[in-house]
Amino acid sequence: MASIPPTRERGRGILIEMTRPGDDEMTTDQYTFTNPAELYADFEPKKQHQPEPGLDAELVPKADLGEKTYRGTGRLKGRRALITGADSGIGAATAIAFAREGADVAMSYLPEEDVDAQRIAQIMQDAGVKVMTLPGDLRDAAYCRDLVDKAVKGLGGLDILVNNGGKQVYNEDLATLDDDQFDDTFKTNVYAMFWITKAALPHLVAGSTIINTTSVQAYKPSEILVDYASTKATINAFTKALAQQLAPKGIRVNAVAPGPIWTPLQVTDGQPQEKIAEFGEQTPLGRAGQPAELAPAYVFLASAESSYVIGETLNVNGGTPTP
Angle at which helices 192-200 and 226-246 cross, to 10°: 20
User: Does residue 88 touch ligand NAD according to CB under 6 A?
Assistant: yes
E-assigned strand segments in the chain: 80-84, 104-108, 131-133, 158-163, 204-213, 252-258, 313-316
Q: Which residues inside 14-53 make contact with ligand NAD, applying CB under 6 A?
A: 53
Residues 86/105, Cβ–Cβ less than 8 Å: yes
Residue 77 DSSP code: T
Q: Would residue 228 show up in a list of annotated catalytic residues for this protein?
A: yes
| Contact partner, 306, from Mg ion, ligand NAD, none, Cβ < 5-8 Å per class | none
The least distance separating Mg ion from the CB of residue 163, rounded to whole angstroms, comes to 15
Helix (H, G, I), strand (E, B) or coil at 165: coil
Among ligand NAD, Mg ion, none, residue 280 binds (CB under 5-8 Å by kind): none
d(CA 136, CA 109): 6
Q: Which stretch binds ligand NAD (CB under 6 A): 6-14, 131-139, 219-227, 297-305?
A: 131-139
For 263-311, the DSSP string reads SHHIIIIIS-GGGSTTTTTTSTT-S-B-GGGTHHHHHHHHSGGGTT--S
Cβ at position 112, least distance to Mg ion in Å: 9
How far apart CA 173 and CA 183 sit, in angstroms, is: 16
Nearer to ligand NAD (CB atom), residue 251 or residue 294: 294
Span of 4-12, 42-50, 162-170, 236-244 interacting with ligand NAD by CB under 6 A: 162-170
Q: Does 215 bind ligand NAD (CB under 6 A)?
A: yes
Q: Least distance from C-beta 83 to ligand NAD, angstroms?
A: 10
Kindly name the residue from 31, 228, 298, 308 that is annotated as catalytic: 228
Cα separation of 193 and 164, whole Å?
8
The 255-274 site mask, x for binding ligand NAD (CB under 6 A), equals ---x-xx-xxxx--------
Binding site for Mg ion (CB under 5 A): 87-88, 113
Spell out the residues 6+ positions from residue 266 whose beta carbon is closer than 8 angstroms to its own. 45, 168, 260, 276, 279
197 binds ligand NAD (CB under 6 A): no
CB of 104 to ligand NAD, least distance (A): 19
CB 148 within 8 A of CB 158: yes
265 binds, among ligand NAD, Mg ion, none (CB under 5 to 8 A by kind): ligand NAD
Binding site for ligand NAD (CB under 6 A): 53-54, 85, 87-91, 109-110, 113, 137-139, 164-168, 188, 213, 215, 258, 260-261, 263-266
Catalytic residues: 228
